Chain A
Amino acid sequence: MAFLEISGLRKRYHNLEVLKGIDLELEKGGFLVLVGPSGCGKSTLLNTIAGLEAFSEGEIRIDGEVVNQLRPSKRDIAMVFQSYALYPNMTVAQNIGFGMEMRGVPKPQREAAIQRVAGMLQISHLLGRRPSQLSGGQRQRVAMGRALVRDPRVFLFDEPLSNLDAKLRVDMRTEIKKLHAATGKTIVYVTHDQVEAMTLGTKIAVLKEGALQQVGTPAEVYNRPANLFVADFMGSPAMNLLPAQVTGSNGTAALTVARDGGAPIVLRIPPSVAAARLAPGQPVILGIRPEAITDPAGADRNSPWIDVQEAHVEIVEPAGSDTYVVTRAADKEVIARMRADAEVRPGSRIPFAFDLAKAVLFDPGSGQRLA
């Protein structure tokens, strides 16, 4: 049985449904990332798990126990807030110890626990300071210390890194990952940053407008997005989504991507799709990530699904480690990710290698991925 189970969770404000029947499970020690654009309901979902917001229907179980009616303090959870929510009138030590104080833990025990956690997070020298005297990264550590010291069943993180600058964010991300590895705690983590979701999660749940779009491992969500929204949301630069048409049938079926003033790009049907189920003339949307379109020399030699097509180079964007090459098909920009030293000039015509093993097809009507 899963450690954290959410079933049929719905939340309505008046007539507006902000959570539309969420079903989620997380095993003990798992790291679930709730990701989605702002307003998708991910923070609301986290708050209902915390018990800070009520919900209309459904059930939340932690370790088999239904916690619907339990107050936040009785759920044995700890939460790290976006603003850190450190009590401004208390020192770092008092902040970390406040939860234990409220629970009537004797002072010597409290002191010992504070010291232990402060040592783990390397904030021992800050214990006497007030939050206003700390830097952003230090506040972040104190907020995590306050959560860690209680040794709760589930940790909840509400966009904990969004207030940090870019460099610190990457550092703290690694620390959180280490912390998870070291403590083996069950974590639910909310973010709008898909990179954070990919790097941290053992499981990702993508939300949009209060509905789950896909739940899966980072690899599943990235490689086999369930629909166009997930395909577009996860990954940077985003997946190329090109309107295409199925031509021929069965053995000879192929994909045709129209091009302005030129022969169409013709590709094989990707192996992720059962070609037999596609009808001739059927419109589809081809989803292919930038790293699956390369220069032929940089393509995966072991993949039997490489199709090479020539195309006109519009823009070249060197990014240091890679070079992004922009071409155009089906009236859309197509981004290819080539080696940094690939010889590409804007305006030239070069061969592009499409790795169809990494491509997916979507139904343009429903937006769902075709299998």
Chain B
Amino acid sequence: MRADATAVGPGGGGALGRAFIYGLLLVFAVIFLMPLFVMLVTSFKTLDEVHNGNMLALPQHWTIAPWLDAWGRACVGLSCNGIAGYFGNSIEMVVPAVAVSTLLGAVNGYVLTKWRFPGHKLVFGLMLFGCFIPFQAVLIPMARVLGLLGIGNSILGLILTHIVYGLGFTTLFFRNYYEAFPTELVRAAQIDGAGFWQIFRRILLPASGPIIIVTVIFQFTNIWNDFLFGSSFTSGANVPMTVALNNLVNTSTGVRQYNVDMAAAIIAAGPTLLVYIVAGRYFVRGLMAGAVKG
């Protein structure tokens, strides 16, 4: 693709035109990257330097103290143990929630495409509908359900909530992917004597790499970044990272420690960035896989 672009550009594109395009892209890249840059340099400055220096300048005295503070000593609400525990909360929440919702979505997609039953369209339609319900609308019913189950204000409650609300999306992803999966393979396996789960595990799952990656990235990003459910259903020591970050920034005791806030924010954003950097190229590839077969 790159070769195409340099060899024969769109009509009318001379050297000047290309310079303009790249210049424009550069400007926007700078605009988008500016906040991240400010966060990064601020997190390595001393508080004095933050208050007195230029926001865009590089630190004169590099220090990792703000990072250590953010991780282990900063005050979130009344406790001053840093965000480490909340980071752990988020990991504890996101790993099972992503794993279970992805797996259930795969099973749903498998059934909705290869083992159709009367009314399968309605079931799928309702699940799709679930994707479009604003989360705010379900807060109170969900709180009631969590209360009845006795898992209010717990990580387990958040896991359940995220699985339920992720299921619509994961099912949609897998259904569309398996729709293009040759049914003759399933039939061949049936004749070979494989059962429902064996076909799923031995035939479909090994061919599902791209869509699993798409779903995992999507779910991981959504669940990790969720603030609403976390702040509504948990409190105190049970809140996930996003809520803790908010609490950290809003805890007003003495001077506002911008450098610590910035370090904490970067830590909070770290996992989703990491997931995207590691698996991002599979993400686009996976999204394309459904559209262009093979």
Chain A interface residues toward B at CB < 8 A: 47, 50, 52, 71-73, 77-79, 81-83, 85, 87-89, 98-99, 102-103, 146
Contact A87-B193, Cβ < 8 Å, known A79-B188, A102-B198? no
Contacting chain A: which of B44-52, B123-131, B179-187, B217-225?
A: B179-187
B191: contacting residue among A73, A82, A87, A89, CB under 8 A: A73
In the assembled complex, which residues on chain A have CB atoms less than 8 Å from the CB atom of B182? 83, 85
State whether B207 touches A98 (Cβ < 8 A): no
A97 nearest in chain B by CB position = B192
Contact A81-B194, Cβ < 8 Å, known A88-B207, A89-B206? no
7 contacts between A and B (CB under 8 A): A50-B187, A77-B191, A81-B184, A81-B187, A88-B185, A98-B194, A146-B188
Q: CB of B203 within 8 A of chain A?
A: yes
State whether A98 touches B184 (Cβ < 8 A): no
Interface class of chain B by DSSP? helix
**Max chain A Cβ within 10 angstroms of own Cβ: one of B190, B193, B198:** B193
Contact A52-B187, Cβ < 8 Å, known A89-B207, A102-B198? yes
Min CB gap A131→B, angstroms: 10
In the assembled complex, which residues on chain B have CB atoms less than 8 Å from the CB atom of A52? 187, 190-191
- How many A-B pairs fall under 8 Å by CB? 55
**B contact residues, range:** 10 to 19
State whether B191 touches A78 (Cβ < 8 A): yes
Q: How far is the CA of A50 from the CA of B189 in the complex (A)?
A: 12
State whether A85 touches B193 (Cβ < 8 A): no
Q: How far is the CA of A73 from the CA of B136 in the complex (A)?
A: 49
**Max chain A Cβ within 10 angstroms of own Cβ: one of B188, B202, B206:** B188
State whether B188 touches A81 (Cβ < 8 A): yes
State whether A83 touches B192 (Cβ < 8 A): no
State whether A82 touches B185 (Cβ < 8 A): no
A73: contacting residue among B184, B192, B207, CB under 8 A: B192
In the assembled complex, which residues on chain A have CB atoms less than 8 Å from the CB atom of B202? 87, 98
Min CB gap B260→A, angstroms: 49
Contact A83-B189, Cβ < 8 Å, known A88-B207, A102-B194? no
Min CB gap B126→A, angstroms: 23
Within residues 66 to 117 of chain B, which ones have a CB less than 8 A from any CB in chain A? none
State whether B188 touches A103 (Cβ < 8 A): no
In the assembled complex, which residues on chain B have CB atoms less than 8 Å from the CB atom of A88? 185, 207
A87: contacting residue among B185, B187, B190, CB under 8 A: B185
Min CB gap B294→A, angstroms: 10
In the assembled complex, which residues on chain A have CB atoms less than 8 Å from the CB atom of B207? 88-89
B205 nearest in chain A by CB position = A89
Q: How far is the CA of A277 from the CA of B193 in the complex (A)?
A: 57
In the assembled complex, which residues on chain A have CB atoms less than 8 Å from the CB atom of B194? 73, 98, 102
A147 nearest in chain B by CB position = B191
In the assembled complex, which residues on chain B have CB atoms less than 8 Å from the CB atom of A77? 191
B209 nearest in chain A by CB position = A89
What would 13 more interface pairs be, CB under 8 Å, given A81-B184, A87-B188, A87-B203? A52-B187, A52-B190, A72-B187, A73-B192, A79-B187, A85-B184, A87-B189, A87-B202, A89-B207, A99-B191, A99-B192, A102-B192, A146-B188
A78 nearest in chain B by CB position = B191
Min CB gap A145→B, angstroms: 13
In the assembled complex, which residues on chain A have CB atoms less than 8 Å from the CB atom of B191? 50, 52, 72-73, 77-79, 99
A77 nearest in chain B by CB position = B191
Within residues 166 to 189 of chain B, which ones have a CB less than 8 A from any CB in chain A? 182, 184-185, 187-189
